[in-house]
Structure 1
Amino acid sequence: MAFFMRRVAKATPIAFRFSAGGGQSNNNNSSSFRLPFTAIAAISGAASLFYCSSSPYLVHSEQIAEEETKRDIALNPDKWLEFKLQDTARVSHNTQLFRFSFDPTKKLGLDIASCLLTRAPLGQDAEGKPKYVVRPYTPISDPESKGYFDLLIKVYPEGKMSQHFASLKPGDVVEVKGPVEKLRYTPNMKKHIGMIAGGSGITPMLQIIEAILKNPDDNTKISLLYANVSPDDILLKQKLDVLATSHPNLKVYYTVDNPTKNWRGGAGYISKDVVVKGLPEPSDDTLILVCGPPGMMKHISGEKAKDWTQGEVSGILKEAGYTEQMVYKF
């Protein structure tokens, strides 16, 4: 178990890097060699003939590459698949870490920042057909890891899915489908990203934080406000502290409802004053991400619309001047 926890603590997702290749012409060379027009036309025609005759093979090669990529991915967006529980570890008094295993030659298949869906049986309906409870979760393991993924889950007394997870033993299986794309992060998409997380809402934030910090070409600044009930409820605090200490572009501010005598962070709910002081000011180069329990979402940004689209921005973020284009609700 100790070995398992050490591996999880060291795991840092690898960011997706995008680059454009190709040679560059030197337009400053006044003595450049020029071909006659007829030669250019002949070469151009030959190139066109080669492309037209070979393009079916190129398309076929792309299709083969796409199929091979799909075979290397463990998830299926259209089909529920069983993943076996390998091990569990207690992270806090009400939060557990669950490691699920699969084919060690495959990757899970998640982008930054996407999630997966889990489902568990919940009796039968009036017609005798099985009913299920379905919940989304964001893994905290490296997206490039092969053969396993880790879920950090807070177990609520009335939580149907979290209680189901808590009842699992190594060797049991959970049905999973995905990925479900949320915010598609790309390096340097914004100069400054602000984050407001509550409880286990830290998981998509951590996915993006590690993607940014892992990429030396990503200069994005990150400001995280992380709210919890008590200091003992702060998930992955040691990991966040290490990341903030070693990366000057990451700033983390903790606040708790019930501070202890030795607590040195903030106390109480996240207020407008905390947002103004701790997050980047509203601008076209600013993005604010929000993830947490419904009560917090309503207070900070407003909940999503009934059709699960982003909906209007309300609450503290609206008061602070942020618009719908500047806010993303997980």
Structure 2
Amino acid sequence: MSNDSYVKDILPPKPEAPLPSDCCGTGCSPCVYDIYEEDLKKWKKSCEQLKLDDSPKDQQAIISTNKFTSVKLIGVTQITNNTFIYQFELPEKTCLCLQIGHHIVIKGILDNKGKMSTIISKLSIGDQIEIRGPYGSFKYQPNSFKRLVFLAAGTGIAPMFQIIQQILKDEEDMTRLHLMYSSKSFKDILLREELYKISVILEFHSLSLS
């Protein structure tokens, strides 16, 4: 599945240019051409936010829902006592091309008491894993809601933060945001610096649980 076909259903249709016969020629304001130009600007902005336009793309999606694809582990960074960031290498001019709120599946063999996190923790630099996707039906449209309340715990902050970032970078999105985020301890709070930076805009609450 290409990135284009994957995200085009999220975008509104591209505005159609008016025909010469659509303009009355009397200098009325706004003219049908003015309306078209404004609609086209909004459409292009939506495309830019999703990193999609109607020109050929330099990068192609490496993953597919029809088969697993192998990627190589090239880096591991520990950010809290029990949370790590794993970095995988992708072929040149490719990307995961994941959209907001969507995810991938990792292939692994588990025993009766196994956990996927245990398998991942045993990976060494250079090891290969198999991934497939993208999956998810979530679609965010700007200004769809007056207010959004996010409830997150631990690593569950990750998909919430994606949506928050998308809303805050869109100057025309007036959605009000409320976040309630819990963690086992203060030092285990993920994205702490990033959340503090936007706390002036976002009503941010951190719940420390023992």
Return the TM-score normalized by structure 1.
0.47
Computed over aligned residues only, the root mean square deviation of the Cα atoms, in angstroms, reads: 3.0
Over 3 Å counting, the alpha-carbon distance change for 1:30 and 1:194 in structure 2 is closer
2:209 paired residue number: 257
Q: 2: CA distance between counterparts of 1:98 and 1:200?
A: 14
Over 3 Å counting, the alpha-carbon distance change for 1:26 and 1:221 in structure 2 is farther
Q: Which runs of 5+ in 1 are unaligned?
A: 1-15, 32-65, 124-132, 134-157, 259-330
Over 3 Å counting, the alpha-carbon distance change for 1:30 and 1:200 in structure 2 is closer
- How far apart are residue 217 of structure 1 and its match? 2.5
Counterparts of 1:184-203 in structure 2, within 5 Å, are 184-203=139-158
Moved over 4 A (4+): 16-20, 22-28
Q: Answer yes or no: is the 8 Å Cα contact 1:83–1:174 preserved in 2.
A: yes
Q: Answer yes or no: is the 8 Å Cα contact 2:183–2:207 preserved in 1.
A: yes
Q: Answer yes or no: is the 8 Å Cα contact 1:111–1:181 preserved in 2.
A: no
Q: 2: CA distance between counterparts of 1:193 and 1:19?
A: 26
1:162 paired residue number: 117
Q: 2: CA distance between counterparts of 1:203 and 1:229?
A: 16
Q: Answer yes or no: is the 8 Å Cα contact 1:199–1:227 preserved in 2.
A: yes
Counterparts of 1:147-226 in structure 2, within 5 Å, are 160-226=115-181
1:113 paired residue number: 101
Q: 1: CA distance between counterparts of 2:171 and 2:131?
A: 33
- How far apart are residue 20 of structure 1 and its match? 4.9
- One-letter code aligned to 2:191: L
**Which structure shows the higher helix fraction?**
1
Identical positions, percent: 27
1:96 paired residue number: 84
Q: Answer yes or no: is the 8 Å Cα contact 2:110–2:116 preserved in 1.
A: no
Higher-Rg structure is 1
Over 3 Å counting, the alpha-carbon distance change for 1:239 and 1:159 in structure 2 is farther
Q: Answer yes or no: is the 8 Å Cα contact 1:17–1:215 preserved in 2.
A: no
**Aligned: 1:29 with 2:26:** yes
- SS of the residue 1:171 aligns to: coil
- SS of the residue 1:122 aligns to: coil
Q: Which runs of 5+ in 2 are unaligned?
A: 1-9, 29-53
- One-letter code aligned to 1:257: L
Over 3 Å counting, the alpha-carbon distance change for 1:185 and 1:72 in structure 2 is same
Number of residue pairs the alignment of both structures matches: 172
- One-letter code aligned to 2:163: I
